[in-house]
Amino acid sequence: MVKKHRTAFHAKEWAIDLYEAATIEEIQQVEKELQIVLPKVYKEFLSVSNGMHGNLAQLYSTDGLIEMNKTYEVQRYAPGYVSVGNDNGGYHLLMRAVENAVNFQLVSDGYCVPTENDITDNFLSWLDSDEGDPWRNE
C-alpha cells in the first residue's frame, strides 16, 4: 500500500502528490515479477517517492508498475521496455528495461510498440522541468 505525503522531490507546478519512498525489497519485487531490470533513474525516483500523481501525468508506484505492465502486456507488445507511467489520457511513458536507460518515449495505449516518431525525452530533465507541461515536446 502506498502512503501519501508531500515531499520536495523536484515538485514543480504540475506535481500534485508524491509518496513515501519504496523499499529496496519492493523495487526488487517489481523486477522479479516482471522479469525485467528497471532503469537506475527510475529506481532512484522510487527510492524518494513510490509513484507520483500529477495533473498531466502519473508515474507508477511499485504496485502500479506490476499491475499496469501486466494489464497492458507491455513486455509482450514492447519487449525490452517497461511502462513507468502514463499521461492520464491514452499514452504510456515507456523506458528501455535496462539499468542505464535515461530516456522515455510517449507511446499510445493502442500500439505500445515504440517507434522513432514517438515523443522522446530525458527522464530526469523532464522530471526537473519547470515548464508546467511534462509533454512540452508534443
pLDDT tens sequence across 70-80? 999 999 999 99
Report whether 100 contacts 40 (CB < 8 A): yes
Q: Where are the domains of the chain?
A: 16-127
CA distance 32 to 75: 13
What average pLDDT does this structure show over 85-108? 89
Return the CATH superfamily for domain 16-127.
SMI1/KNR4-like (3.40.1580.10)
Nearest to 63 by CA among 101, 33, 95, 102: 33
pLDDT tens digits, one per residue of 44-88: 999 999 999 876 789 999 999 999 999 999 999 999 999 999 988
Per DSSP, the three-state class of 82 is strand
Most confidently modeled range among 2-6, 61-65, 116-120: 61-65
